[in-house]
Chain A
Amino acid sequence: MSDGFLGYVRPDGRVGTRNHLLVLSVTGLTGPSARRVAATLRGAVFAGTPYHGGMIGTDRDLHRRTLAGLAGHPNCGAVLVLGADPPVVEEVAAAARAAGTPVEAVALDDCGHDALTLVDVAIRRGAGLLKALSRQRRVAVPLSGLVLGLECGRSDPSSGLVANPVIGMVSDAVVAAGGVSILGETVEWTGAEDRLAARATDPALGGAIVAAVLRREALAVAAGVDLTGTNPGATNIAGGLSTIEEKSLGAVAKSGTASVAGLLATAERPARPGLHVMDAPAYAPESLTSFAAAGATLMLFATGVGNSFGAALAPTLKITANPDTAARLPTQIDVSLAAVFTGEETLHDGAARLLAAVRDTASGATTFAEIFGDGEDAFSRLGESL
């Protein structure tokens, strides 16, 4: 393993950093049952939507896209799809099949509408899937096999100054190697959108990036949300941030200097390698779920004051450059860049350390969010249910 990592090569050619049994509930009606199944089977990870019935239009499209993305995720060695209506269950199971992932599908309607029967059947089928997936082995793969998700939460001045630029250097390294990196949280590009657009591989893409930011800004204004009052807010100003451009450039620094190869819709899977920006919510549970649905296999999550949340399906490296936070949260912070912040280490040294941690984690080293199970998928909504 020269400069890549050890991963699970899937039938569709994508590479997993983990080998989970995903227990995926496609409707809220089977959520509790699916959690029961996942709790019984060691090695199972639960994901599920609380919704289904009555969804329409683009709201429903986003839901189906998210479910399909999770079902076909490269970090799944197998998938157990649970739901109520057989056609709905089948549609999601087909996404797993398209990825070549072994899948079992169980619908309430086929179990006499008895949730206890569904749980029994699912546990037995899940056990068989776990036995089979445990035979899969990691092999040496190049760094291009990685799909990174870039996130920040509970930021403070150390985030924009150190943590995010260092993440950007690692993102650049993965992109240069032929991998994929995804920046989301559209509202945090506000003030930096021209800079992002200038890095687009063509002017039309640049225009689309700017349009995405303006659309989300208009949403806020229409709802009476005062973006100027909070960007930068009093705490940000006391902390040293002077303008929204500076705040957003600090956030966008996570994306490094690479050209932007594409603009993705929420939960949309990229069609080519490179750095992509995703038009998606900033809220971490929704943001991370959107990245996972797009196929992100490892998340880099910068925090200033601390944030324990991670993705359920993909290892999430929790990173801070705040020395107080790193000292206070030794069982939350996976990689401390405090030495860069105190000036004892350069940004490049910090990036080398973070890249080593990325390769290590991609190869199987665990993270605190995984140890504590501190993450759960959140399905974004765009509208009302009938």
Chain B
Amino acid sequence: MSDDAVVLHAADDVATLLRALPAGSKASTRTPTGTIVLTLCADIPRCHKVAVRALAAGAPVRKYGAVIGALTAAVDPGDHVHVHNLSSLRGRDWHDG
């Protein structure tokens, strides 16, 4: 059986989908410590991210074991995490300047 999604590092907050799946799908997700199942809260395109745990607005989001941005809204496991609710911490400098 093949995986639907992958979590790259044990500390990551998001899983990345290996294939597009509709809302309600049970995504078989490979993590460094084993396989988990994530229920998708929306239609998720291939290579997009979903949260693996509940996180508050303003929380840092980790992928590759490092912070890739901060949430602008709270998320539940299986929620789509992308430009609509994830803000760069690095890119802000340029916008301000």
Interface residues of A (CB under 8 A from B): 157-158, 161, 165, 190-192, 195, 227-228, 231, 237-240, 242-246, 249-250, 253, 341-344, 346-347
**Contacting pair A242 B68 (CB below 8 A):** yes
Residues of A within 8 A of B6 (CB): 161, 343, 347
- Residue of A192, A240, A250 with most partner-chain B CB within 10 A: A240
**Contacting pair B81 A242 (CB below 8 A):** yes
Residues of A within 8 A of B88 (CB): 191, 242-245
* Total chain B interface residues with beta-carbon distance under 8 A: 32
Residues of A within 8 A of B4 (CB): 343
Residues of A within 8 A of B28 (CB): 343
Contact pattern, B 72-86, Cβ under 8 Å of A = 1, otherwise 0: 000000000111001
**Contacting pair B47 A190 (CB below 8 A):** no
**Contacting pair B47 A245 (CB below 8 A):** no
Q: Tell me the nearest residue of chain B to A342, going by C-beta.
A: B2
Residues of A within 8 A of B64 (CB): 165, 195, 246, 249-250, 253
**Contacting pair B94 A228 (CB below 8 A):** yes
**Contacting pair A242 B66 (CB below 8 A):** no
Beta-carbon contacts under 8 Å, B50-69 to A? 63-64, 66-69
Q: How far is the CB of B40 from chain A (nearest CB, A)?
A: 14
Q: How far apart are the CA atoms of A242 and B81 in the complex, in Å?
A: 8
B42 at the interface (CB under 8 A from A): no
**Contacting pair B83 A237 (CB below 8 A):** yes
**Contacting pair A227 B94 (CB below 8 A):** yes
Q: How far is the CB of B9 from chain A (nearest CB, A)?
A: 9
**Contacting pair A243 B91 (CB below 8 A):** yes
**Contacting pair B47 A242 (CB below 8 A):** no
Q: How far apart are the CA atoms of A256 and B19 in the complex, in Å?
A: 25
From B47, B49, B68, B87, A249 is in contact (CB under 8 Å) with B68
A to B CB contacts below 8 Å, 17 in the list: A161-B16, A191-B88, A227-B94, A242-B49, A242-B69, A242-B88, A244-B88, A245-B89, A246-B64, A246-B68, A250-B64, A253-B64, A342-B18, A343-B4, A343-B6, A343-B30, A347-B6
From A244, A250, A253, B91 is in contact (CB under 8 Å) with A244
**Contacting pair B47 A240 (CB below 8 A):** yes
Q: Tell me the nearest residue of chain B to A168, going by C-beta.
A: B64
**Contacting pair A161 B68 (CB below 8 A):** no
Residues of A within 8 A of B45 (CB): 238, 240
If the complex has contacts A191-B88, A245-B68, A249-B63, are A240 and B3 also in contact, measured as CB distance less than 8 A? Answer: no
Residues of A within 8 A of B90 (CB): 190-191, 243-245
B41 at the interface (CB under 8 A from A): no
Residues of A within 8 A of B83 (CB): 237, 242
Q: Tell me the nearest residue of chain B to A226, going by C-beta.
A: B94
Q: How far is the CB of A156 from chain B (nearest CB, A)?
A: 8
Q: How far apart are the CA atoms of A157 and B47 in the complex, in Å?
A: 6
Residues of A within 8 A of B89 (CB): 243, 245
**Contacting pair A249 B66 (CB below 8 A):** yes
